[in-house]
Amino acid sequence: MLRLGVNVDHVATIRNARGGQHPDPVAAAKIALAAGADGITAHLREDRRHIRDDDMRRLRREVAAPLNFEMAATDEMLAIALELRPHACCLVPERRGEVTTEGGLDAAANVAGLTEFAAALRAAGVRVSLFVDPDPRQLDAACRIGAPVVELHTGSYAHSGASASELERLERSARHAASIGLECHAGHGLDFGNVGAVAAIPELVELNIGHFLVGEAVFGGLGGSVRTMRRLMDMARGAR
């Protein structure tokens, strides 16, 4: 079965907009798992713009399902990952001013550094994944680095309006990854309209999806929240 990892970063984005505790990404993770997700993904960025250190600690402690810790390959993140020992670490590129993870990791240009980094995680029992563009050069590099997993960046596919050529790139890359022994995941920009064709790629074993699900939850849940508020207000006035 194709696994679904739910990324709860943007629950934290909404929480941080007001600086309080609500909505709590850990509570959101539990709802996602109860609804059929297989694992939880969270990206601890250098600038802590959404997920924070305490969120990662609580996700590790309070959520029994596999935790995929997305992080840049920095000494600071390595120390946190070695302390938390999540199920998996997905290494992503991180640029300070970017709105989201804009492209894949250039694994081919940094084989030596990433090999050492991945070895430290592997020694701690953490499964290492590299978030890369659907490019055979990057997949071959992941193999040389010793990462057992790659996650294909589906951003170009999603932003192209699910074009046939971008889909073909993903299909070819997933086939190539599997043929060289890599476990292949995919994610970024997936939504109800474009997920089907990606989910049909037989070599993929996991999709990681976040922003769309959190955005869509507003539409799925706003009616219920307003109804509850209406009821509480009316009860306070003795109307119901």
Residue 168 CB, shortest distance to ligand PXP, in Å, is: 21
Active site residue 70: yes
The H or E element containing residue 47 is none
Cα Rg of the chain (Å, integer)? 19
Q: Please say whether the beta carbons of 36 and 27 come within 8 A.
A: no
Residue 208 CB, shortest distance to ligand PXP, in Å, is: 4
Phi and psi, residue 88, nearest 5°: -145, 155
From 70, 166, 171, 203, the catalytic residue: 70
Compare residues 163 and 228 and give the one whose CB is closer to ligand PXP: 163
Nearest CA to 52 among 34, 28, 26, 83? 26
From 10, 43, 50, 153, the catalytic residue: 43
Residue 237 CB, shortest distance to ligand PXP, in Å, is: 41
Count CB atoms within 10 A of the CB of residue 95: 11
Contact footprint for ligand PXP (CB under 6 A): 7, 9, 43, 70, 90, 92, 100-101, 131, 151, 187-190, 208-212
Nearest CA to 131 among 78, 194, 39, 206? 206
Helices (H), the chain: 9-18, 25-34, 53-62, 75-84, 111-123, 136-145, 155-159, 164-179, 195-199, 211-236
Q: Which residue has the tokens 């946190």?
A: 80
Active site residue 188: yes
Compare residues 67 and 209 and give the one whose CB is closer to ligand PXP: 209
Residue 72 CB, shortest distance to ligand PXP, in Å, is: 11
Compare residues 122 and 211 and give the one whose CB is closer to ligand PXP: 211
Nearest CA to 138 among 87, 98, 174, 102? 174
Residue 225 CB, shortest distance to ligand PXP, in Å, is: 22
Measured between alpha carbons, how far apart are the two ends of the chain, in Å?
A: 47
From 153, 176, 185, 188, the catalytic residue: 188
Compare residues 131 and 157 and give the one whose CB is closer to ligand PXP: 131
Compare residues 58 and 211 and give the one whose CB is closer to ligand PXP: 211
DSSP state of 156: H
Indicate which residues carry an active-site annotation.
Answer: 43, 70, 188
